[in-house]
Amino acid sequence: IVTRGANTYGPYQYPEKLIPYFVSEALNNRKLSVYGDGLQQRDWLHVEDHCRAILHVFDKGVPGEVYNVPGNEHKTNIELTKSLLSFLGKDASLIQFVADRKGHDRRYAMDGSKLKDLGFRHTKIFQEEFSKTLSWYADNIEWLNQIRQKNPEDQTYFSKQYSGRSISS
């Protein structure tokens, strides 16, 4: 059995991922680099729903089948970024638009009908869990910053992704 999950979010996520990375940047008053016009759409899946879906598929799924695990909560990157900044009490002036990556998908979409046919239902509501997730990272900013400082290769990664791409702010 194979599962393919949507963009997963929640506490303890490694800081290279968008939500923890942007929380860290915002709370440290650094610019948040948003690709292109920020209208790329992503489907967000809470980590607990993701884990429950995997267990559900292993219990009820068919060996050899592939099951998509959508989050059923589509947000544009700019919408998510503005919500994050607002929640943290930070100004949208921290947003810096950068040149888009080559081949960057406008939208990631998944068909979760096979998972639904197995009887799986999401239990997490995005806005509630997004707020809890942001609070968790804000309350644990030292943990987030320590992980980033321990791994210099992360700084190289972020530098490669965003340096020299600025197109507007």
For 110, residues 6+ apart whose C-beta sits below 8 A from its C-beta are 4, 6, 43, 68, 69, 70
Which SS3 state, helix, strand or coil, does residue 61 take?
Answer: coil
Across 55-83, average pLDDT: 97
What is the predicted pLDDT for the residue at 169? 45
Cα separation of 96 and 92, whole Å?
A: 9
What is the predicted pLDDT for the residue at 27? 95
pLDDT tens digits for 33-63? 999 999 999 999 999 999 999 999 999 999 9
Average pLDDT, the chain: 91
Q: pLDDT higher for 169 or 88?
A: 88
CB 94 within 8 A of CB 31: yes
Q: Which fold has domain 2-168?
A: UDP-galactose 4-epimerase; domain 1 (3.90.25)
Across 159-163, average pLDDT: 58
Determine whether 168 is exposed, middle or buried from the number of CB atoms within 10 Å of its CB (0-12, 13-18, 19+): exposed
pLDDT tens digits for 110-157? 999 999 999 999 999 999 999 999 999 999 999 988 888 887 676 666
Q: Which residue has the tokens 């068909």?
A: 111
What is the predicted pLDDT for the residue at 35? 93
Query: ∠ CA 49-131-155 to the nearest 5 degrees?
Result: 90
Percent of the chain with pLDDT over 90: 76
CB 14 within 8 A of CB 147: yes
pLDDT tens digits for 142-151? 998 888 888 7
Q: Where are the domains of the chain?
A: 2-168
Q: Residue 96 — φ and ψ, nearest 5°?
A: -130, 120
Strand intervals (E) in 63-135: 66-69, 74-76, 95-98
